[in-house]
Amino acid sequence: MKAREASRHRARWARWLYSAALYALSPLIWRRVWREQVFAYSRWQRLGRIPDAPTAGNAIWLHCASVGEVQAARPLIEALVARYPSQCLVLTTMTATGAERASALAESLGKNGAKGKVKHYFVPLDFPGAAWRFVAQLRPRLAIFFETELWPNLLHACERIGVPVTVVNGRLSPRAFERYRKFLPLFQDALSRIDWLAAKSQSDAERFRMLGMPHDRITVVGSLKYDLMVDDELFKRSKCLHTSWGERPVWIAGSTHPGEDEQLLLAHARVRDVLPEALLILVPRHPQRFDDVAQLCRDHGMKVARRSWNEQPELQTAVYLGDTMGELLCLYGAADIAFVGGSLVPVGGHNLLEPAAMGTPVVTGPELANFSDVAETLREAGALVEVADGEALAQELVRLLGDEPECQRLSHAGQAVVEANRGALVKTLEAIDQYLPPK
């Protein structure tokens, strides 16, 4: 009993110190928020003040960090809208790019018969007052946090107000685990307020347990990313794009980062030494970098066409800049080979399953901490090509672009992996049902 009380005391102090640190850093935090603003959204949302909120007790709240998480959560979002038609789905994000993607998704769902059923807001900053204000106003029937979005004061507010909390597609990379372990009392307290956590792998589940998540509240269900649905219309759009560029070889580098684009452009130059008509579709991860990357291409002596300007790649065009939002899947499908970014620099990689689902052979660099389990599954199926650096990437691209049978094999193997590992969505929805009984 004394040990338990001492643990609670440490947790209270840890959360108090965490909140104090947030207040001390608030000028820097607010400067970042100022940059992450979208014109249509009031900055007051960052302090928990939400306009036109659904009636209290009439919403399901799903929080995703940014654009990648919104895209990965799309099957879950669509399923929740269909499964609970009387509820409003409130979707929150932290970043401006996430907000834009969430708004586009809400608009798309509205056109398909769910008008007004999905609302998007910026998640409040994790100050105690802002967190309490947001949760108290919304009073959702269920809070769902996607992946590793563990905000101590938001979780505390949910518990105080009586909102059940689940974490879906829960992942915790070794790097994140080491970082969180430095603040163990704080995250033990946060995890104690979660009613159920759906881990995407056994190793993720074990790391959550080591941080203090109760064993009986964790279920390994697999990754929701495998439940990515691709319709025939998307395949048709991708094929039309590829056809419009003629018979030239095309490769794509998706979700790229600073320090990586330079390596990719050097690799592309080496590819064009062998295949002069080769076209690179370059898709930076963050839209604020679009102009800089366009200039970077010109600095490397490459003619660039920008998709956002409706420019069509000519035969002399070396780079087609994918500077639009929400089209990465389509562009992956339009390429002969896909390199997934964030893997030649220490970022941890991005979603390897998106090009695989589109039937495009997948190539990655060595930095895969965020997708190590997915990479292992693709690797075991012979559906992943791994390179150590930009030089090795150029060699592999030349090899693959000249080996159509191998590309076909990689394509079929990748799609087979995606199909064989579906099912996390069904398991997640069955568990969520327990927290959303009929009103």
> CA 425 to CA 82: how far, in whole Å?
13
> CA 177 to CA 210: how far, in whole Å?
9
Which letter, b or e, does each residue of 237-253 get, where b requires 16 or more Cβ atoms within 10 Å of its Cβ? bbeebbeebeeebbbbb
Q: In which order are the strands placed within the sheet that holds 385-386?
A: 304-306, 319-321, 279-284, 250-256, 337-340, 362-364, 385-386
Does the active-site annotation cover 69? yes
Tokens of 50: 């939400």
Spatial CA neighbour of 321 closest among 336, 307, 302, 341: 307
Asked if domains 2-222+423-433 and 232-420 share a fold, the reply is yes
- Containing 167, the helix (H) or strand (E) segment is strand 165-170
CATH class of 2-222+423-433: alpha beta
- What is residue 1's predicted lDDT score, i.e. its pLDDT? 53
> CA 319 to CA 297: how far, in whole Å?
7
Q: Is residue 29 classed as helix, strand or coil in its secondary structure? A: helix
Cα Rg, the chain, nearest whole Å: 22
Low-confidence ranges of the chain (pLDDT < 70): 1-7, 113-114, 438-439
Tokens of 286: 């963050």
Which letter, b or e, does each residue of 296-317 get, where b requires 16 or more Cβ atoms within 10 Å of its Cβ? bbeebebebbbbeeeeebeeeb
Query: Cβ contacts of residue 219 below 8 Å, gap of 6+?
Result: 196, 197, 198, 199, 427, 431
Entry pTM: 0.84
Spatial CA neighbour of 43 closest among 127, 120, 121: 121
- What is residue 38's predicted lDDT score, i.e. its pLDDT? 79
Which residue of the set 5, 36, 69, 396 is catalytic?
69
- DSSP strands (E only) in 11-164: 59-63, 88-93, 118-122, 142-146
| pLDDT (tens digit per residue) in 375-388 | 999 999 999 999 99
Pairing of strands 319-321, 118-122: unpaired
Query: Cβ contacts of residue 260 below 8 Å, gap of 6+?
Result: 253, 341, 342, 344, 345
- What is residue 290's predicted lDDT score, i.e. its pLDDT? 96
Query: Hey, how many other C-beta atoms are within 10 angstroms of the C-beta on 21?
Result: 10
> CA 20 to CA 13: how far, in whole Å?
10
| pLDDT (tens digit per residue) in 36-84 | 777 788 888 999 998 888 877 789 999 999 888 898 899 999 999 999 9
Determine the residue type at 110.
G
User: Residue 20 burial by CB count (10 A; 0-12/13-18/19+): exposed, middle or buried?
Assistant: exposed
Scanning the structure block, which residue is given the tokens 């979603």? 351
Query: Cβ contacts of residue 41 below 8 Å, gap of 6+?
Result: 99, 121, 122
Query: Hey, how many other C-beta atoms are within 10 angstroms of the C-beta on 394?
Result: 22
Domain boundaries, the chain: 2-222+423-433, 232-420
CB 283 within 8 A of CB 325: no
CA trace torsion 342, 344, 349, 355 (10° rounding): 90
CATH topology for 232-420?
Rossmann fold (3.40.50)
- What is residue 342's predicted lDDT score, i.e. its pLDDT? 96
The count of C-alpha atoms lying within 13 angstroms of the C-alpha of 319, restricted to the half-sphere facing its C-beta, is 30
- What is residue 46's predicted lDDT score, i.e. its pLDDT? 92
Q: Is residue 65 classed as helix, strand or coil in its secondary structure? A: coil
CB 240 within 8 A of CB 206: no
